C-alpha cells in the first residue's frame, strides 16, 4: 500500500507529466503542421542545381547559406521569413530575376556540406532545376510569325533544349511560324530563356518539373518503338484489315462513292 | 539571511572590485559574442572571408567545416543521412562543447543571449512580475518534441522557428525579418516569462545542456566557506538552481557546479565580492582552507596589538 505522501507525489508526477506531454503534443503538432506547410514551394522559386526532391530537400538542407555564398552570379538567395516564399532560410532563385548561369564546376553543389545538393551531380547539363514551358503562345512573338528567337538564341543547350519548329502561318497565308519548342530531356531549367524573353511578362517560363511535365504510366509502350527495337512486328501474322475511308459507304475498300487515298505508304502498304 | 542581502545586487562587488572587475566576464562574453559574429561578417562587409555560412553550418578559412549538432541530429531524424562534411563539422562542434561546457554556447556565442539579457535587465529595472514560469524541464520535453516533429514531418522542423539561427542568418545575410524574431523573444522574456526563452523553453539550449553534463570546464566554489549569504549570485545567475549543490553543499561534497544547465557565463564570479567562485576543471575538487578559528583570533589579536 502506498503511503498518502507517496500517493500524493505520484499524483503530482502524473499530473505534471500529463501537462508536459499535452503541451508538447500541441506544440509538436503545430510545428509539424508549419513544417509541412513550408513544403509548398511557390512555382517561380527554383532550387539550386542538384537539389533533392523538395520533400527530401527540407530534411537535408540545414539553411547554412554556403551555396549562396559560393554562387558567383548572385543567383541564389536565402528565403526570408514571413514572405510567401520557400521555407525560411532555404536557397532558391527566381529565373526572371537572376537565372542560373550553369557554371561548369557547379560551386553551389561543391559548397553544400549536407548533400541537400546532390554531390553526384558532376555535369551541369544533367541538372534539372525545372523545365521551361512556353506558357503563352498567344503572346509569344514567334507565334505571330516574327523572328524574335531570343529564348532559342540564349539557351545554353541551343538546338537541343529549345528548337525552332517551322510550320505554315495560316494567318498570313504565305509565311512560316518558327515555334520555340522545349525538349524537356535536355532542359536544365536554368531560366535564361525566361530571363531574356522580351515581353513585359515572359511567354516562356521555367516551372518546377512537377508542374511542367506530365508522366506516362509505367506500362505504356509505344508500338513503333517496340517494333523498331524488335526489328520486326511484335506479333506475327497480323491480318491487314481494310482502312476506313471518308465518304459514304466507306466500309469497302473498293468503295463505290469513296475515293482512293491520296498518299500511299512506301512499299505499297497502307 | 544575512544583512548583505538587503544591499542592491552587485553593490558590494562594485565597491570591492571596481566597475571593470565586477563585470569582467560580462565584458568578455560580449566581446566573444561580437567576435563570433564578426567572423561571419568580415566577408560580406569587407570581402575578407573568415567564416562562411551561418551557425547552422559553416566553413572557416576554406578548410574547417563546422555544423550545429542539433540541426544535424534533426536532419538524421528526418531521414537524411548527412554527407561527411556536415557530419565531421557537427562532431567537431560536439567535441568542443563537451570540453568547454555545452551551454557555453548559450552564454558566449548565441546571438539571442544579448537579447534575453537585455530583456532581463529591463525586467529588473521595471520590477515586473516573473510571469509564466514553466518547469525548467520543459525545454527537454520541447527538445524531444522537436526531434519527433522532424521525424514525423521529414523536415528539419525546428529550423522553421529557431530564433537562434534565424537571427544569425538575418545578421549575416542581411534579412530584415530577423528583427521580428528579436522583438518577439525580447517581449516574451520581458512581459510573458522572466528568463523564459533561454531558461525554460529553448530546445537548442536544452540540447547543449545535455552535452554539457560531462564538460571539463566548470565553475567551482572553492571558497564557499567565505560566502556571506548576500544572495547576489542567485540574483544574477540565469540558471540559479545550479548554485546550491556546489555553494551550500555539506562538508565533503564537491564545490563544482556540475549541472548541465550552467552556462559557464561567469556572472557569479563577477558579482561575488568574496571571490567564492572561479573557473576550473571538473575534477578539481579542491576547497580553499576555511579561515580557521585560530587564524581569525590571531588577526584580531594582531590588530589589537597594533592599537
> Testing the interface with A: which of B47, B68, B154 to mutate, by most A Cβ within 10 A?
B154
> For A244-269, what is the mean pLDDT?
56
Say whether B177 and A80 touch across the interface (CB within 8 A).
yes
* Overall residue count recorded for chain B in this entry: 307
**pLDDT-based confidence at residue A248 (cuts at 50, 70, 90):** low
Please name the member of A27, A70, A114 whose beta carbon is closest to the beta carbon of B86.
A114
Chain A residues with CB inside 8 Å of B157's CB? Answer: 31-32, 35
Q: What is the pLDDT at residue A257?
A: 53
Please name the member of B80, B157, B180 whose beta carbon is closest to the beta carbon of A31.
B157
Q: Is A183 on the interface with B (CB under 8 A)?
A: no
**Phi, psi of B232, deg, nearest 5:** -60, -40
To the nearest whole percent, how much of chain B has pLDDT over 70? 92
Q: Which residue of A has its CA nearest to B88?
A: A113
> For A251-267, what is the mean pLDDT?
57
Say whether B54 and A65 touch across the interface (CB within 8 A).
yes
C-alpha distances (whole Å) from A24 to each of A10, A21, B143 are 21, 5, 9
Q: Given a cut of 80, is residue B14 above it in pLDDT?
A: yes
Q: What is the pLDDT at residue B306?
A: 47
Q: Which residue of B has its CA nearest to A34?
A: B160
Q: Given a cut of 90, is residue B31 above it in pLDDT?
A: yes
Interface of A with B in 99-138 (CB under 8 A): 111-116, 119
Say whether B160 and A66 touch across the interface (CB within 8 A).
no
Q: Given a cut of 80, is residue A212 above it in pLDDT?
A: yes
> For B142-164, what is the mean pLDDT?
88
Say whether A62 and B173 touch across the interface (CB within 8 A).
no
C-alpha B156/C-alpha A31 separation (Å) is: 10
Q: Given a cut of 80, is residue B216 above it in pLDDT?
A: yes
Say whether B80 and A113 touch across the interface (CB within 8 A).
no
Q: What is the pLDDT at residue A239?
A: 74
Q: What is the pLDDT at residue B244?
A: 84
**Phi, psi of B4, deg, nearest 5:** -60, -30
Residues 6+ apart with CB under 8 A from A47: A41, A54, A57, A91, A92, A129
Contact (Cβ atoms closer than 8 angstroms) between residue B222 and residue B255: yes
Q: For B76-97, how does the pLDDT look when each residue is reduced to its tens digit (9 = 90+)?
A: 998 888 888 899 999 999 999 9
Q: Given a cut of 80, is residue A77 above it in pLDDT?
A: yes
Q: What is the pLDDT at residue A270?
A: 46
Q: Given a cut of 90, is residue A240 above it in pLDDT?
A: no
Say whether B54 and A63 touch across the interface (CB within 8 A).
yes
Q: Is A39 on the interface with B (CB under 8 A)?
A: yes
Q: Which residue of A has its CA nearest to B150?
A: A32
Q: Given a cut of 60, is residue A16 above it in pLDDT?
A: yes
> For A106-131, what is the mean pLDDT?
93
> Quick one: DSSP state of residue A198?
-
Q: Given a cut of 80, is residue B269 above it in pLDDT?
A: yes
> For B195-217, what is the mean pLDDT?
90
Say whether B142 and A38 touch across the interface (CB within 8 A).
no
Smallest CA-to-CA distance from A135 within A95, A105, A79 is with A95
Chain B residues with CB inside 8 Å of A68's CB? Answer: 173
The chain-wide mean pLDDT, for chain B, equals 85
Q: For B176-199, how does the pLDDT look when each residue is reduced to its tens digit (9 = 90+)?
A: 778 888 899 999 988 888 888 998
Q: For A169-209, how does the pLDDT look when each residue is reduced to its tens digit (9 = 90+)?
A: 988 888 999 999 999 999 999 999 999 999 999 999 999 98
C-alpha A238/C-alpha A204 separation (Å) is: 45
Its pTM surpasses 0.90: no
**pLDDT-based confidence at residue B304 (cuts at 50, 70, 90):** low
Least confident of A112-116, B71-75, B241-245: B241-245
Chain A residues with CB inside 8 Å of B155's CB? Answer: 35-36, 38-39, 58-59, 87
C-alpha A34/C-alpha B301 separation (Å) is: 73
> Testing the interface with A: which of B153, B161, B170 to mutate, by most A Cβ within 10 A?
B153
Cell of A232: 520486326
Least confident of A24-38, A139-153, B41-55, B157-171: A24-38
> For A20-47, what is the mean pLDDT?
81
Which residues partner with A46 through β-bridges?
A: A93
Say whether B155 and A87 touch across the interface (CB within 8 A).
yes
Q: Is B43 on the interface with A (CB under 8 A)?
A: yes
**pLDDT-based confidence at residue B258 (cuts at 50, 70, 90):** confident
Say whether A64 and B58 touch across the interface (CB within 8 A).
yes
Q: Is A12 on the interface with B (CB under 8 A)?
A: no
Please report, in angstroms and rounded to a whole number, the separation of the first and last CA atoms in chain B: 33
CB count within 10 Å of CB B231 equals 18
Predicted-complex ipTM score:
0.84
Amino acid at each position: 500500500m502506498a503511503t498518502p505522501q507517496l500517493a500524493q507525489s505520484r499524483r503530482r508526477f502524473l499530473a505534471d507529466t500529463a501537462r508536459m506531454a499535452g503541451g508538447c503534443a500541441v506544440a509538436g503538432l503545430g510545428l509539424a503542421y508549419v513544417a509541412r506547410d513550408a513544403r509548398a514551394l511557390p512555382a517561380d522559386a527554383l532550387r539550386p542545381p542538384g537539389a533533392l526532391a523538395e520533400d527530401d530537400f527540407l530534411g537535408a538542407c540545414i539553411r547554412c547559406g554556403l551555396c549562396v555564398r559560393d554562387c558567383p552570379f548572385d543567383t541564389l538567395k536565402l528565403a526570408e521569413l514571413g514572405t510567401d516564399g520557400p521555407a525560411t532560410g532555404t536557397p532558391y532563385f527566381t529565373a526572371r530575376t537572376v537565372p542560373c548561369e550553369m557554371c561548369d564546376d557547379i560551386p553551389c553543389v561543391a559548397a553544400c556540406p549536407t548533400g541537400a545538393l546532390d554531390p553526384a551531380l558532376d555535369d551541369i547539363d544533367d541538372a534539372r532545376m525545372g523545365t521551361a514551358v512556353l506558357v503563352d503562345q498567344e503572346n509569344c512573338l514567334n507565334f505571330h510569325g516574327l523572328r524574335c528567337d531570343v529564348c532559342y538564341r540564349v539557351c545554353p543547350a541551343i538546338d537541343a533544349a529549345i528548337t525552332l519548329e517551322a510550320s505554315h502561318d495560316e494567318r498570313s497565308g504565305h509565311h512560316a511560324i518558327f515555334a520555340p519548342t522545349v525538349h524537356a530531356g535536355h532542359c536544365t531549367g536554368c531560366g535564361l530563356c525566361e530571363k531574356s524573353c522580351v515581353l513585359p511578362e515572359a511567354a516562356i517560363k521555367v516551372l518546377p518539373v512537377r508542374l511542367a511535365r506530365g508522366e506516362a504510366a509505367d506500362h505504356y509502350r509505344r508500338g513503333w518503338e517496340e517494333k523498331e527495337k524488335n526489328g520486326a512486328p511484335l506479333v506475327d501474322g497480323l491480318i491487314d484489315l481494310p482502312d476506313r475511308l471518308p465518304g459514304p459507304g466507306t466500309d469497302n475498300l473498293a468503295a463505290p462513292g469513296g475515293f482512293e487515298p491520296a498518299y500511299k505508304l512506301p512499299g505499297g502498304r497502307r | 539571511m544575512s544583512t548583505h542581502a538587503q544591499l542592491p545586487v552587485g553593490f558590494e562587488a562594485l565597491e570591492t572590485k571596481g566597475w571593470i572587475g565586477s563585470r569582467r566576464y560580462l565584458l568578455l562574453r560580449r566581446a566573444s559574442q561580437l567576435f563570433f559574429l564578426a567572423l561571419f561578417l568580415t566577408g560580406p562587409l569587407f570581402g575578407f572571408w573568415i567564416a562562411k555560412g551561418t551557425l547552422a553550418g559553416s566553413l572557416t578559412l576554406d578548410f574547417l567545416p563546422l555544423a550545429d549538432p542539433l540541426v544535424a541530429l534533426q536532419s538524421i531524424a528526418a531521414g537524411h543521412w548527412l554527407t561527411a562534411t556536415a557530419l565531421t563539422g557537427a562532431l567537431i562542434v560536439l567535441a568542443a562543447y563537451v570540453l568547454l561546457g555545452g551551454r557555453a554556447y548559450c552564454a558566449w556565442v548565441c546571438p539571442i543571449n544579448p537579447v534575453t539579457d537585455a530583456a532581463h535587465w529591463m525586467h529588473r529595472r521595471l520590477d515586473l512580475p516573473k510571469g509564466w514560469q514553466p518547469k525548467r524541464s520543459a525545454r527537454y520535453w520541447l527538445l524531444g518534441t522537436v526531434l519527433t516533429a522532424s521525424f514525423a514531418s521529414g523536415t528539419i522542423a525546428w529550423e522553421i522557428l529557431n530564433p537562434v539561427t534565424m537571427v544569425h542568418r538575418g545578421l549575416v545575410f542581411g534579412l530584415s525579418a530577423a528583427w521580428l524574431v528579436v522583438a518577439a523573444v525580447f517581449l516574451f522574456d520581458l512581459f510573458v516569462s522572466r528568463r523564459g526563452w533561454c531558461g525554460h523553453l529553448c530546445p537548442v539550449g536544452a540540447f547543449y545542456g545535455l552535452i554539457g553534463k560531462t564538460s571539463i570546464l566548470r565553475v567551482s566554489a572553492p571558497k564557499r566557506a567565505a560566502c556571506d549569504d548576500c544572495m547576489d549570485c542567485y540574483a544574477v545567475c540565469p540558471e540559479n538552481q545550479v548554485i546550491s549543490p556546489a555553494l551550500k553543499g555539506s562538508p565533503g561534497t564537491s564545490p563544482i557546479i556540475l549541472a548541465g544547465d550552467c552556462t559557464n557565463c561567469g556572472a557569479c564570479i563577477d558579482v561575488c565580492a568574496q571571490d567564492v567562485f572561479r573557473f576550473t576543471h571538473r575534477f578539481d575538487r579542491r576547497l580553499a582552507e576555511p579561515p580557521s578559528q585560530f587564524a581569525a583570533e590571531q588577526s584580531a589579536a594582531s590588530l589589537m596589538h597594533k592599537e
